[in-house]
Amino acid sequence: MSSPKIYVVTGASQGIGLETVRSLVDLGHRVLFTARSQGKVDHAISIIMSSHPDALVEGYAADMSLQSDIRKAAAEMIAKHPVIDGLINNVGTWMSNHHLTKEGIETVFATNHLSYVLMTHLLYPALKRSGHGRIVNVASNAHSYGKINIPDPGYSKNYHGLRSNGQSKLANLYFTFELDALKPDTNISVYAASPGLVKTDIGLKHTNWLHTLAWKFRRRKGQTPSEGSRTSVFCATDPSVERISGKYWESNKVKDVFPSAKDPVLGKQLWDRSNQMCGIGDYFKERG
């Protein structure tokens, strides 16, 4: 077993995130995770404890579509753990209808992309204090059909669930590549990890009847959530890939991205727009 480390996993009340927590505690690591409410935190802890009674696991209640909740959870984590070894940005949602958070941002963009940008910014100082910090962004082959809409990332005029999902998963890749290119620290690596098709409830929660039916049909071919967590855990922990930063991974191997993810100008525009939407001035500057 590798020496115990501290990992953060977002969106871990069920699905791939919960299994990511389980795999990390199985390797002997301490895991801090977020879930939407205290009830969901408690439920996830009881599930983990039933298979791993000695697990070092801490839950933080946070609605990851809200920047105020993300800032609070990150501050609490850093106050307790000034050194963090890995962050797995896993939280994700799929919505059939256009929906704004109470902070006025379209919910899928806020959850699937902006939470990754903000959480990484806030935990970056703690990751930097690790021997070698790793950031894993859970992405998807759905980036193939994504289009980044810089002026209207919430697709307020022509929203569709596929459009918002494709955009957010493409944004995960551009964020990974831009972060890798701009980060000033050599002891930080960043990975985009595709879990493949996984049999979870993601398409059953905020979907209309047609999308629910389509997901029920499609997910039958999916892997288990535990199998879906493998690439994230591999990128976050495997010694052999510690310094391979800025790549897209699937099934524990580097994979080429679709042409939609190969526009560096768009990557830069998205970086600036996302920082502006999160109220971030200097991304790598430690807050006082």
Ligand X SMILES: NC(=O)c1ccc[n+]([C@@H]2O[C@H](COP(=O)([O-])OP(=O)(O)OC[C@H]3O[C@@H](n4cnc5c(N)ncnc54)[C@H](OP(=O)(O)O)[C@@H]3O)[C@@H](O)[C@H]2O)c1
The interface with ligand X within residues 182-201 (CB under 6 A) comprises 195, 197-198, 200-201
The H or E element that residue 246 is part of is none
* Smallest distance, ligand X to C-beta of residue 65, A: 4
C-beta closer to ligand X: residue 92 or 153: 92
Task: In angstroms, give the least distance from the CB of 101 to ligand X.
Answer: 8
Phi-psi region of 155 (alpha: psi -120 to 50; beta: other; left: phi over 0): left
- Candidate list 23, 93, 189, 237; residue touching ligand X; CB under 6 A: 93
Termini Cα distance of the chain: 37
Q: Classify the phi-psi angles of 234: left when phi > 0, otherwise alpha if psi is within -120 to 50, otherwise beta.
A: alpha
CB 277, CB 270: distance < 8 Å:
no
Give every CB contact of residue 267 below 8 A, 6+ residues apart in sequence.
Answer: 174, 177, 178
Considering only residues 8, 17, 67, 190, which one is a binding residue for ligand X as defined by CB under 6 A? 17
Least distance CB 282 / ligand X (angstroms): 27
Site string for ligand X, 97-116 (x = CB under 6 A): --------------xx----
Annotate 164-195 with three-state secondary structure.
HHHHHHHHHHHHHHHHHHHCCCCCEEEEEEEC
Site map 29..58 versus ligand X, x via CB under 6 A:
------xx---x------------------
Query: Which residues contact ligand X by CB under 6 A?
Result: 11-17, 35-36, 40, 63-65, 90-93, 111-112, 138, 140, 195, 197-198, 200-202, 222
